[in-house]
Structure 1
């Protein structure tokens, strides 16, 4: 546990990446696997992660992301994109996958499938997208910790225009909407005003409420 806390104290939202350094494919794969293995409501994994490395695409995204330099200086930009709606097809695909992988059909699991089919598709697309987006944030937490474990710097970002990122990456055709960006790279030796600053959080007494 002490090691996890050390990692969380080490990581910070890097403000300037070193564009000459690139995260290895193996490390990116490990970070993606940590996200893939993350918890999600009902195990549906209602989001996907796009890995953007093409310089021209990163430049376009930077233009609609408040001109944040990390987008182009990082070697990889992860785009967390949530389902735009829960459909019966999407729900069934996940339940069918579980049954196939486990090699049998569990009656309780099938009853739960029917509950979800009766509930999720009948909500509005906006309600379902907001729910799916919250699951993406769970995956983000796993990505941040996995990156820190590998000594990879990261900068979670909400400061961008989602509709324009969706257009750049063709997400609507995939039934997805962008939720957040996560540039991955390595901190620059100079020019990062936040590097080396003391990490400040509210005290445990102020933060945790016991009942």
Structure 2
């Protein structure tokens, strides 16, 4: 899986067509909360867990058309971001109530649930070695916490970052060493070693997502 992202965590998800307009996915809040609670921990100031849906054929992010929570007579809409991240509230009281979470994506498109570790902020312009260096241990720790007991034995090492750009950008990332890294269809992977201590990388535009780069992960 080329150094990114999606973790199969045994979340129960039902997918079915509810009408002529959308596919609907259903979760229990408590299952999502068990992973998203990492986002409130002070030891991860720069990194979080994000919830997305990915087109099973194209591997592009699916549009979240509507999302909401239900519990008996209670109903609440859930917002999504400009990049179609599900912005689920992280609340201990909601965990106790454990409502059902529903997500609608476009009809006739199979969208796989995708739980990713990503930065809380995008990157742009000139990014220093130190800017990337501080992200790696946070990403590593969250990946291991998501994997559960003994996960440190088999979680691949985070060696750098996977950068995603809008509109299937093709181009290059310039490195202070004089070399560059190619961006293909909106994605590029850059290791900390490539940037080099006291070095930097120059991005052609702002990222949409910044994910771990796991070069030893199974393809």
- Shorter-chain TM-score tier: 0.3 to 0.5
Q: TM-score, with normalisation over the residues of structure 2? A: 0.33
- More strand, by proportion: 2
- More helix, by proportion: 1
Q: TM-score, with normalisation over the residues of structure 1? A: 0.34
**Bigger CA radius of gyration:** 1
